[in-house]
Every structure is written in C-alpha cells, then in structure tokens.
Amino acid sequence: MKRITLMAVCLISALAVIPATAQAFVPFWEVKAPPAGWTLLAAGTPETVLSVGSFGVTGGSGTGTTTFKNSCPVADTETIENPTSGAEGQDEMLTFEVVCAPNGNGPFPCATGESYKFKGALSAGLPVWPSELSFPSNDTFEHAELEVECASSASALYHPPGHVWNPKIAVNALKSSAASGIFRHGINYFELLGTDSLKALGHGFVR
C-alpha cells in the first residue's frame, strides 16, 4: 500500500493534521509547538486525541434509494503513534459514537420517528479500529464496524467494503464522504458525510 506525508499533532499547544499536498512527503505523524516548525512525533510515544464534529447521515436500502437524512454530532477517542520499527504512522480508533435525534425515517432496523446511535469500537463492545497513513492524504482504518442502536433497543451491525473506512486528512480534522466507505447491512446502507475535528484540550486549541 502506498503511504503519504501526514503532519499531525501539536502535543504541547495544539494538535494538527496536515495532508501531503500541503507539506513534503513524510509518512509519519509530526508535531508542532509554536513557534517551532514541524518535527516528527517521537517514535514509541502514543498520544491520545479527542475529536468532535457533525456528520450528515444519508442512507436507505436497495440500489442507492435514499430514505433518510439526518445531521448528527460525533465524538471519538483515538491514539496516534510513530512505531519504533520505522514503519508509517499508525492510529487506533478506540471509541466512536454518532448520536442522532429523531428526524423522520431512520436506518434499518429503527422505526420512523425514533432516535438512534451509530456506535463503533469500544463504544459498542467491538474491537478497536487500527489505522495507517495512506496515499494520497488518508487515514485508513481497518476492522471498521458500526452498530446502529435504535431507541427501541433494536440493533444491527454495518460495515464498509472490506471493513475499511478511509477518511481524508485535513488540517486538524478527518473528512468523511461516500468515497471513504459506505456502511452496509444487507441491502441497507448509510454514508457518513462531514468533518470530525479535534476537541479543545486544556490548552484551548483544537485539531
């Protein structure tokens, strides 16, 4: 698999992610603490980052027939690390949760007019999602699986093809589109469309 340059995190002052198109090709996490420039995150020193944002959720059943749309907040916890082996920068999605208020129809198996959640990794008691930085400017998560949990307690598991979710890296954010991977359960599907940004930490900065 081809790898990318990925600039990532301000550990002291801010956390940041910058795609290959913005910087020279380096397939590792990098850190920046103003006024210093970018430097590699020390190998073998995993850092935990918390992100929040909002996803448009669009889905339905069959061959692309849209039956529901909603806008829902997302929150997650990840770790990033440059391995001591010298391999490309790695990431793990530890928790991932999208919470949707009632808005007409919802994803299978939820009933019309009820709230629902999309829960992944430890949030749903599932395995974490390991990731590697990948060409051209992506954070490629494997083992990606989301549980749709309806307010009525009905639930179903969805995953993208090959269980791979492949959002784009932007400055301080992950950007998800249909191209990142459409989550499916049989003929039912949904897309996560939007931006997941670093949560303000004690220093008052955001990714």
- Measured CA to CA, the distance from residue 114 to residue 122 in angstroms comes to 24
CA proximity to 105, closest of 140, 138, 59, 148? 59
Among 17-21, 130-134, 141-145, the least confident range? 17-21
Give the CA distances from residue 91 to residues 1, 37, 134, 140, in Å, rounded to whole numbers and listed in that order. Answer: 16, 22, 11, 9
Q: How many CA atoms lie within 13 A of 87 on its CB side?
A: 12
- Residue range 54-79, pLDDT digits in tens: 999 999 998 767 899 999 999 999 99
Give the CA distances from residue 90 to residues 28, 84, 111, 196, in Å, rounded to whole numbers and listed in that order. Answer: 8, 11, 38, 18
Q: Would the pLDDT of 32 be above 80?
A: no
What residues contact residue 119 under an 8 Å CB cut-off, 6+ apart? 96, 97, 98, 146, 147, 149
Percentage of the chain surpassing pLDDT 70?
Answer: 78
Tokens of 38: 């970018």
Whole-prediction pTM? 0.83
Measured over the CA atoms of residue 12, residue 45, residue 137 and residue 65, the dihedral's sign is negative
Q: Would the pLDDT of 23 be above 60?
A: no
- Measured CA to CA, the distance from residue 85 to residue 16 in angstroms comes to 23
Tokens of 168: 């784009």
